[in-house]
Chains A and B, each alone.
Chain A
Amino acid sequence: MKKSSGDNWDSLEKNWREKLDSHKEEVPAAIWNQIEKKLDEKKGKAVPFIIHRRQWSWAAVLLISFGVGWWQLSNPNALVDDSKMANHIQTEINAPVQHLPNTSTPELEEISSSTNPNVVSHSEPMPSHDIHSNLNQEPRNTTESIPVIEESKPNTNPVILADNRTFEKEKPASLAKEESVEMLIDIQPSQANNQEKENSYVPEPSKKRHSLFARVVKQLRQAIDGEPVDWQTLKQGDPKLENSIHQVANTYIKTEQVVQRTFQF
Chain B
Amino acid sequence: MSKTLLPFKSEQELIQACQKQDRRAQQIVYQVNAGKMMAVCKRYLGVGPDAEDALMEGFMKVFSKIDNFQGQGSFEGWIRKIMVNESLMKIRKTANRYDQDINETYDIAHPEDAIMHLGVEEIQNLILELPPGYRTIFNLYAIEGYSHIEIGDMLQISEGTSKSQLSRARQLLQSKLKELQA
Q: Is the CB of A5 within 8 A of B110?
A: yes
Known: A9-B108, A20-B124, A39-B63. A27 touches B35 (CB 8 A): yes
**B55 close to A (CB within 8 Å):** yes
**Among B38-46, B90-98, B129-137, which stretch is in contact with chain A?**
B38-46
Size of the chain A interface, CB-CB below 8 angstroms: 29
Min Cβ gap B124→A in Å is: 7
**A24 close to B (CB within 8 Å):** yes
Contact with B along A12-26 (1 / 0, CB 8 A): 110111011011111
From A23, A28, A35, B39 is in contact (CB under 8 Å) with: A23
**A132 close to B (CB within 8 Å):** no
Q: Cβ of B59: which chain A residues have Cβ within 8 Å of it?
A: 35
**A43 close to B (CB within 8 Å):** yes
Contact with A along B110-149 (1 / 0, CB 8 A): 1100011011100110000000000000000111010000
Min Cβ gap A35→B in Å is: 5
Residue of B nearest to A6 (CB): B108
Q: Cβ of B52: which chain A residues have Cβ within 8 Å of it?
A: 28, 31
Q: Is the CB of A32 within 8 A of B27?
A: yes
Most chain B C-beta atoms within 10 Å of own C-beta, residue among A11, A19, A22, A26: A19
Q: Cβ of B30: which chain A residues have Cβ within 8 Å of it?
A: 32, 35
From B31, B56, B60, B111, A9 is in contact (CB under 8 Å) with: B111
A65 to B118: give the CA distance in the assembly, Å.
78
Q: Cβ of B34: which chain A residues have Cβ within 8 Å of it?
A: 27, 31-32
**A3 close to B (CB within 8 Å):** yes
Residue of B nearest to A4 (CB): B110
Min Cβ gap B60→A in Å is: 6
Residue of B nearest to A16 (CB): B123
Q: Is the CB of A16 within 8 A of B55?
A: no
From A3, A15, A28, A31, B116 is in contact (CB under 8 Å) with: A15
Question: How many residue pairs between the two chains, A and B, have CB atoms under 8 Å in the bound complex?
Answer: 82
**A38 close to B (CB within 8 Å):** yes
A31 to B31: give the CA distance in the assembly, Å.
11
Q: Is the CB of A12 within 8 A of B111?
A: yes
Known: A17-B142, A25-B35. A43 touches B21 (CB 8 A): yes
Q: Is the CB of B108 within 8 A of A25?
A: no
Q: Cβ of B143: which chain A residues have Cβ within 8 Å of it?
A: 13, 16-17, 20
Most chain B C-beta atoms within 10 Å of own C-beta, residue among A15, A16, A17, A26: A16
**B170 close to A (CB within 8 Å):** yes
Q: Cβ of B63: which chain A residues have Cβ within 8 Å of it?
A: 35, 39
Q: Cβ of B43: which chain A residues have Cβ within 8 Å of it?
A: 20
**A170 close to B (CB within 8 Å):** no
A34 to B53: give the CA distance in the assembly, Å.
10
Q: Is the CB of A24 within 8 A of B35?
A: yes
A5 to B173: give the CA distance in the assembly, Å.
14
Known: A12-B115, A15-B116. A20 touches B42 (CB 8 A): no
Known: A38-B60, A39-B63. A5 touches B120 (CB 8 A): no
Q: Is the CB of A35 within 8 A of B21?
A: no
Contact with A along B24-38 (1 / 0, CB 8 A): 001100110011101
Q: Is the CB of B42 within 8 A of A25?
A: yes
Min Cβ gap B113→A in Å is: 10
**A36 close to B (CB within 8 Å):** yes
**B176 close to A (CB within 8 Å):** no
Q: Cβ of A11: which chain B residues have Cβ within 8 Å of it?
A: 116
Task: Give me the interface of A with B, judged by CB distance under 8 Å.
Answer: 3, 5-6, 8-9, 11-13, 15-17, 19-20, 22-28, 31-32, 34-36, 38-39, 42-43
User: Would you give 7 A-B contacts (Cβ < 8 Å), ordered by A?
Assistant: A8-B108, A9-B142, A13-B141, A15-B116, A16-B142, A25-B42, A31-B52
* A-B pairs with lowest CB-CB distance, top 5: A24-B35, A13-B142, A25-B38, A5-B108, A25-B39
